[in-house]
A and B are shown apart, each in its own frame.
Chain A
Amino acid sequence: ETGVTQTPRHLVMGMTNKKSLKCEQHLGHNAMYWYKQSAKKPLELMFVYSLEERVENNSVPSRFSPECPNSSHLFLHLHTLQPEDSALYLCASSQDLNSNNYGYTFGSGTRLTVV
């Protein structure tokens, strides 16, 4: 248990489905992040939230919609995905956006397969 919990661990969805990934942290951190890791590729930073405000959106298609209702929870809403969106989606948190202590704490990820 890393302190950052992601659910579900595995998700299979059709291209017309709508689903949501959930991330929860009770570390008292103020910044949260979504990363995508496709097969044989480095982790790609998707979204950055600080104190529940989105501060970065790295050219992510609109079929991915993040939501941060409070500092402990982060969601990634998915709709009309493509098979190439199949990947490991990782959530992370840090004390603050500019934190330089122990860096980021990552969850175990959600393995998404789009069929």
Chain B
Amino acid sequence: DAKTTQPTSMDCAEGRAANLPCNHSTISGNEYVYWYRQIHSQGPQYIIHGLKNNETNEMASLIITEDRKSSTLILPHATLRDTAVYYCIVRPYTDKLIFGTGTRLQVFP
């Protein structure tokens, strides 16, 4: 059963910020929000995760709303190599990673 809802696809101009939304209105208090991406024909790559505070690392920022019902992954300066399928996953720390269909991000020159 899908715990997250993401747009099927998005476009972003190179050099601009890519903002990828995710709805998780049924998230439980012990569930984290994880983001992975999968570049064509490769294995998924971990990007970032968070519980309720905003998080930032060298790859991206994760903004989680106060009610935790939605989040946004931000790639501050998208490059062509960021073209990939991005997966938003909610999961208790004791559970496995279950993937949905994700958002196909196309970065164009």
The chain A residues found within 8 Å of chain B, CB to CB, are 2, 4, 33, 35, 42-43, 45, 48, 56, 88, 90-92, 97-100, 102-109, 111
CA distance A83 to B77 in the complex (A): 42
Give which listed residue, B43, B49, B94, B98, contacts A108 with CB less than 8 A: B43
CA distance A85 to B97 in the complex (A): 22
CA distance A108 to B91 in the complex (A): 23
Cβ distance B83 to chain A, nearest Cβ, rounded Å: 17
Give which listed residue, B46, B94, B99, B100, contacts A98 with CB less than 8 A: B94
Name 18 A/B residue pairs within 8 A (Cβ), A-sorted. Answer: A2-B45, A33-B97, A42-B99, A43-B44, A43-B99, A45-B96, A45-B97, A92-B43, A98-B94, A100-B93, A102-B46, A103-B34, A104-B44, A106-B43, A106-B45, A107-B43, A109-B42, A111-B41
CA distance A91 to B42 in the complex (A): 11
Given A42-B100, A43-B99, A98-B93: A103 in contact with B36 (beta carbons within 8 A) = yes
Summarize B's interface: helix, strand, loop or mixed.
Answer: loop
B residues less than 8 Å from A100 (CB atoms): 32, 49, 93
A108–B42 touching, CB < 8 Å: yes
B9 within 8 A of A: no
B43–A56 touching, CB < 8 Å: no
Given A48-B96, A56-B96, A105-B46: A88 in contact with B34 (beta carbons within 8 A) = no
B26 within 8 A of A: no
